[in-house]
Chain A
Amino acid sequence: MNNSIENNQSTPVQNQTQGEDIVEVDGAAGRLDTGEPIIRFEKVVKKFGDVTVLDELDFDVRKGEKVTIIGPSGSGKSTVLRILMTLENINEGVIYVTGRPLWHEEKNGELVAAGEEHLRDMRKEMGMVFQQFNLFPHMTVRRNVTEAPVQVLKLSKEEANERADTYLELVGLSDQADKFPSQLSGGQQQRVAIARALAMRPNIMLFDEPTSSLDPELVGEVLNVIQRLAEEHDLTMLLVTHEMQFAKQISDRVCFFDKGKIVEQGTPDEVLTNPQEPRTQEFLKSFIEQH
């Protein structure tokens, strides 16, 4: 098995044959032994100053699993996603993504803190959709989607544009390709953000409260796209959200986080409809009252 970066980048494009899954094709995921989780958190501790946000967290995600993370603010749920996306470091513990350590590297059989090269390599496994969309305002929709494939994956402009067309169609915005983000609604911008992340062909998609900043009437169009992704593709997805109904519809597993630990997890039916733990019950109760 060839682990070089070049191989990983060229594989997706060259393997683009008729009918093959356009959303996730990557040699790296095949590196896992069957049964090995695609994400593994081992006793991970994360502190911001004196505040412990993740408290010796153990957390696994299987390949292709759709996991929703719920919990009160400050519970660490967004932090889990941000750590995976290498936006935040960890204080203790080890994280494995597709079998390789994320924030560490193996040097002479030992685990040392990861260098920038390693992080840049690992980032390619993940794509992230942010609460505030974070589109590049000075670029058209098309440019937003093609810029990273061209500059980071070193694709040609034609290949990148092909990908852009594919993913913009997936999110239903093919006709907006030449507009600037400021000309689009919030829902449209978020859908572009999803296409932009998908265009990098990550193995894992991270959604950090993707609809929390949207006007209520725009939430549906974004959730529809995410649902289609979940149902029609084999992508591993981690979703942080307050949309409980939606979580029930698409998740294989729901995790309730509180104070940096997983309090309860299970199928949507188990956690959302019949929560066992008192804290889970309390959290969901306030939810039903407010929403």
Chain B
Amino acid sequence: MDWNIYLTPLLQGAWVTVQLTVYSTILGAITAFVFGVGKLSDNWFYRGFSICFIEIFRGTSLLVQLFWLFFALPLLGQALGLDFRMAPLVAGTLALGFNIGAYGAEVVRGAIQAVPRSQYEAAKALDFTPRQTLRFISLPQAIPEMMPSFGNLAVQNLKDTALVSLISLGDMAFRAEQIRNYTQDSTTVYTMLLFMYFGMALILTGIMKLLERSVGRWRAGRA
């Protein structure tokens, strides 16, 4: 059991995992809002595009999306005369970000629709434009509603980062497989790996819970 020797490469991989999680979560959040709001838009092009995006990225497997971006897209670029080759980190961030963003978009949409109609009437009576209403009235009220689901999605995203090891990105899972290949000591390495993911997930959940509380401060006095 040389678990302390394994620790260094695993931690190097952990750093990659953390970076990837952060990048893809940010991209995912942006995607979620852009397409979640888009699905509710009056502009049929924006709405149609949002619906298509959400259906495609929710309806196909994440690994398929990852492989498509990493292996297939460059070939499409070749045919078009463009260079679409991308580093594993980029492909991973895009695939993870868009995937989690599509699920997040549904959460955003649902939360905005959950804001009571009477709030929209009050806003209209005060002559807010629809965009002002979204920005100042409905979105601020929708965000606390989204946080619990966002927490789940964040952990799911963390777990999904392990897949980038399959396109040779040196994350935690990749390092573990490297070590196993070299030492044939599966049990130690993979047990460590499982616990490292578990620990990260707990930390992430904690962060999301803190965020949840800070966003919903105005709800405190509710009966």
Contacts and interface: CB of A to CB of B under 8 A. Distances in A.
Contacts of A182: 218-223
Interface string B204-219: 0000000000000011
A183 B222 CA distance: 8
Nearest to B121: A87
B127 A130 contact: no
B136 interface: yes
How many residues of A sit at the interface, in one of the four size bands? 20 to 34
A151 B136 contact: yes
A147 B119 CA distance: 14
B126 A152 contact: yes
Interface string A126-151: 11101010111111000000011001
Contacts of A135: 122
Contacts of B136: 147, 151
B137 A123 contact: no
Nearest to B135: A151
B122 A134 contact: yes
Contacts of B129: 120
Interface residues of B, number: 21
A138 B145 CA distance: 12
A87 B121 CA distance: 7
Nearest to A125: B127
Contacts of A196: 126
Nearest to B222: A182
B186 interface: no
Interface string B89-131: 0000000000000000000000000000011011011111100
Nearest to B141: A138
Contact of B121 (A134, A139, A183): A134
Contact of B125 (A87, A137, A139, A180): A87
Nearest to A196: B126
B125 A127 contact: yes
A123 B121 contact: no
B141 A200 contact: no
Contacts of B126: 147-148, 152, 196-197, 200
> Among the interface residues A136, A138, A147, which one has the most CB atoms of the partner chain B within 10 A?
A138
B132 interface: yes
B140 interface: yes
Contacts of A87: 121, 124-125
Interface string A243-271: 00000000000000000000000000000
Interface string A79-90: 000000111000
A86 B223 CA distance: 33
A124 interface: yes
Contacts of A127: 125
Given A147-B136, A148-B127, A151-B132, A180 B221 contact: yes
Nearest to B215: A138
Contacts of B219: 137, 182
A227 B124 CA distance: 26
Interface in A152-208: 152, 180, 182-183, 196-197, 200
Contacts of A130: 118, 121-122, 125
Contact of B127 (A120, A136, A137, A139): A120
Contacts of B221: 180, 182-183
Contact of B218 (A123, A138, A197): A138
Given A182-B218, A182-B219, A183-B221, A134 B118 contact: yes
A151 B132 CA distance: 8
B137 A136 contact: yes
Nearest to A136: B137
Nearest to A121: B127
Given A180-B221, A183-B221, A151 B128 contact: yes
18 contacts: A87-B124, A87-B125, A120-B127, A126-B125, A130-B121, A134-B122, A135-B122, A137-B219, A138-B140, A138-B141, A138-B218, A147-B126, A148-B126, A151-B136, A152-B128, A152-B132, A182-B220, A196-B126
Given A139-B218, A148-B128, 7 more contacts: A126-B125, A130-B121, A134-B121, A136-B119, A138-B140, A148-B126, A152-B126
| 7 pairs of A and B residues whose beta carbons are closest in the complex | A182-B221, A134-B122, A148-B126, A128-B125, A123-B127, A183-B221, A134-B118
